[in-house]
Structure 1
Amino acid sequence: MKRNDKKPAPHAVYVVEGGDNAFWTKIGAAWPNQEGKGFNIQLSCLPLNGRLVVREPRANAEAGR
């Protein structure tokens, strides 16, 4: 199977702890799967508290900055 050279930029995965002044820690990345109906997620750690948030890539990340 040939891989697509223009792989989409990964979404960032964060664990968010707290309320109004929440502390965000980036813990991984997520890519849309081939069918486009979900994500493949790679985490560098597992959170014990907080909530997971997946955010779209920033424009400067897509430009390679």
Structure 2
Amino acid sequence: MARENTNQSLNLNAPDYLAWHVTQKGEKSYWNKVGAPWQHKDGRGYTIQLETCPINGRIVLRLPLEDAPETSNDAGRS
């Protein structure tokens, strides 16, 4: 029985969002791209592929067509 290569099929399509790790240092927020999710064909969930797994801060999903978030105070963006 052939096994489908999930990572290869994910990379053929653009992600639905980009995953950003956001940390707060005083008044500044720092955004680092950590991965992306793809919506399931049935529309009832997502598969998230992370390139790294942060241990602090938060992960924010944003549309990929937007410019990279600024590193200024983005506290209201979650």
Shorter-chain TM-score above 0.5:
yes
Q: Give the counterpart letter for 2:44 in structure 1.
A: K
CA distance in 2, matches of 1:14, 1:22: 11
Q: Identity of counterpart residues, as a percentage?
A: 39
Partner of 1:63: none
Deviations 1:29-48 (A, max 9, x none): 11111111221100011101
Which 4+ stretches in 1 moved above 6 angstroms?
Answer: none
Q: Give the counterpart letter for 2:23 in structure 1.
A: E
CA RMSD of aligned residues (A): 2.4
> Could you say if the C-alpha distance between residues 52 and 59 of structure 1 is closer, same or farther in structure 2, counting changes exceeding 3 Å?
closer
Partner of 2:28: 21
CA distance in 2, matches of 1:28, 1:49: 16
Compare CA radii of gyration and give the structure with the larger one: 2
Structure 2: any 5+ residue segments left out of the alignment? 1-8, 68-78
TM-score, normalisation: structure 1: 0.70
Write 1 or 2 for the structure with the bigger share of helix.
2
TM-score, normalisation: structure 2: 0.59
CA distance in 1, matches of 2:27, 2:41: 36
